[in-house]
A and B are shown apart, each in its own frame.
Chain A
Amino acid sequence: MDYNGGSIIVMGGKNCFAIASDLRFGIDNFTVEKKAPKIFKINEKLFIGMIGLFGDISTIRQILDYKTSIYSLKKSEKIKPFGFSNMLSNLLYHHRFAPFLVETIIAGLDEKNNLFIESKDILGAKSASSDYATIGTCSESLYGICQIFWKPDMNGEELFKTISNCLILGLNRNCVSGWGGIVHLVSKKGVTSKLIQTRMD
């Protein structure tokens, strides 16, 4: 987990959600890249964040690109969060005895704009939640931070303030994650992305 580093938070609000990650990519203790986000967009309302070995992250991303394209060609519609989550779980479980060393979070809005937040471990076991979810090197401290600051039914602005502050607080005490953060705020109107500043060291 702390070979390459990183942390991700997802928070749910009222018919919207925010997903934030840090921007550091390192090899053990050496920082290689300071602009490497770990959140990838599948379509306008579906985002996936992955933490772990970067090589496996790239491999899984390519495989998922392939599978979602085939899905949308066969069915002439975009893939939905529940189906995407099952697809990813099956992919990860197929490698049960030689796993991809990646923990993932899926956040999306389905057709009726209901929230869908699920985090998975390396074997693909799901943990659905309705409020917030964290993965990464400082996920344990982020659980505590998010529990204090999260309130139900926040709108877009409040959500952005809360999630950026939680991320800054969490990354403050962690060496392997940092170098700034990026927050994507997703609602039925669209996606807004902003960069936030944290400890740059």
Chain B
Amino acid sequence: MTVHHYDDDHNIWRDFNFKNFWRNERNFLKISKFFLSIKKTGTTICGIVFKHGILLASDTRATNGEIICDTNCEKIHFIAPNICCCGAGTSADTENITKLLSNQLELQRISRGKEIYVQTAVSICQKILFQHKGFLSAALIFGGFDFFGSNLFCVHPHGSSEKIPFISMGSGSLAAMTILENNYQNNLSLRKAVLIIQESIKAGIYSDTGSGGSIDLCILTKKKIRIIRNKIFNQKNPIQRFNFKFDIYKN
């Protein structure tokens, strides 16, 4: 006699669970408000190649419809010791895809015994996103330094990818791209590259409502990764002019 126990956490990527589908369809009018409340990192993320490696930057706002639900969230994810990734789009999707990628790449790294190429990460990511036909709305920027040098890739939600020297994605990408196009040159020094990328994220923060908060930076070079959280910190707490002391409230 075999004992089966109900455990649906395996095969999370081979089959999502659609049990609630008909229930949600039939009651859509009553529950449509829920779908507005999906946490999005409608954001500005940028990547740029400089002389010694790659620079990635992002803002730190996460929105829930029109309300900001997190003023200081992390959009730069660690994937491998030489690869980092920025994610824009639905927050749950970007977090789960980057988790899955880092797990699979760690297994590959152990079995091959050498460091992974950024192209591998991008190909795995593309395959998953294309399988789901764009319904997993995750736009990602991969940056890393491997045997072939500095690599900067971007992946769009439907599964297309590009390898380019500078890129910006997210809702504030148009504003950020203007600064990058204007100021990019080959063989930038680290200082100039940091200035350019800070200006482009600032442009995204000022002109786009979905981006705001502080700026996070990630510097990827041949020897190491350095993630600087809140390089430009922008969080003014309101001055506590009121010092309320509540009396004992009678129940």
Q: Which residues of A contact B (CB under 8 A)?
A: 1-3, 28, 52-53, 56, 66, 70, 89-101, 103, 119, 121-127, 129, 139-140, 143, 147-149, 151, 161-162, 164-165, 194-197
Whether A94 pairs with B249 at a CB distance below 8 angstroms is: no
Whether B251 pairs with A196 at a CB distance below 8 angstroms is: yes
Give the secondary structure class of B's interface: loop
Give the secondary structure class of A's interface: mixed
A-facing mask of B93-124, CB < 8 A → 1, else 0? 10110000000000000000000000000000
Q: How many A-B residue contacts, CB cutoff 8 Å? A: 107
Whether A90 pairs with B12 at a CB distance below 8 angstroms is: yes
Binds A, one of B64-72, B183-191, B202-210: B64-72
Q: Count of B residues near A, CB < 8 Å?
A: 43
Whether A165 pairs with B249 at a CB distance below 8 angstroms is: yes
Please name all residues of chain A whose beta carbon is closer than 8 Å to the beta carbon of B6 when the two chains form the complex.
Answer: 66
Report the minimum CB–CB distance from B131 to chain A (whole Å).
Answer: 13
Whether B21 pairs with A147 at a CB distance below 8 angstroms is: no
From residue 2 to 20 of chain B, which have CB atoms closer than 8 A to chain A?
A: 5-6, 8-9, 12, 16-20
Please name all residues of chain B whose beta carbon is closer than 8 Å to the beta carbon of A101 when the two chains form the complex.
Answer: 24, 31, 34
Whether B16 pairs with A97 at a CB distance below 8 angstroms is: yes
Beyond A122-B34, A127-B73, A161-B249, is A95–B17 a contact (Cβ under 8 Å)? yes
Whether A100 pairs with B20 at a CB distance below 8 angstroms is: yes
Whether A147 pairs with B20 at a CB distance below 8 angstroms is: no
From residue 21 to 43 of chain B, which have CB atoms closer than 8 A to chain A?
A: 21, 23-24, 30-31, 33-35, 37-39
Please name all residues of chain B whose beta carbon is closer than 8 Å to the beta carbon of A56 when the two chains form the complex.
Answer: 20
A126 to B37, alpha carbons, bound, how many Å? 13
Asked if B62 lies at the interface with its beta carbon under 8 angstroms from chain A, I say yes
Asked if B148 lies at the interface with its beta carbon under 8 angstroms from chain A, I say no
Asked if B147 lies at the interface with its beta carbon under 8 angstroms from chain A, I say no
Please name all residues of chain B whose beta carbon is closer than 8 Å to the beta carbon of A165 when the two chains form the complex.
Answer: 246, 249
Report the minimum CB–CB distance from A133 to chain B (whole Å).
Answer: 9
Whether A121 pairs with B238 at a CB distance below 8 angstroms is: no
Whether B96 pairs with A127 at a CB distance below 8 angstroms is: no
Please name all residues of chain A whose beta carbon is closer than 8 Å to the beta carbon of B251 when the two chains form the complex.
Answer: 194-197
Please name all residues of chain B whose beta carbon is closer than 8 Å to the beta carbon of A129 when the two chains form the complex.
Answer: 70
Report the minimum CB–CB distance from A57 to chain B (whole Å).
Answer: 13
Please name all residues of chain A whose beta carbon is closer than 8 Å to the beta carbon of B238 when the two chains form the complex.
Answer: 147-148
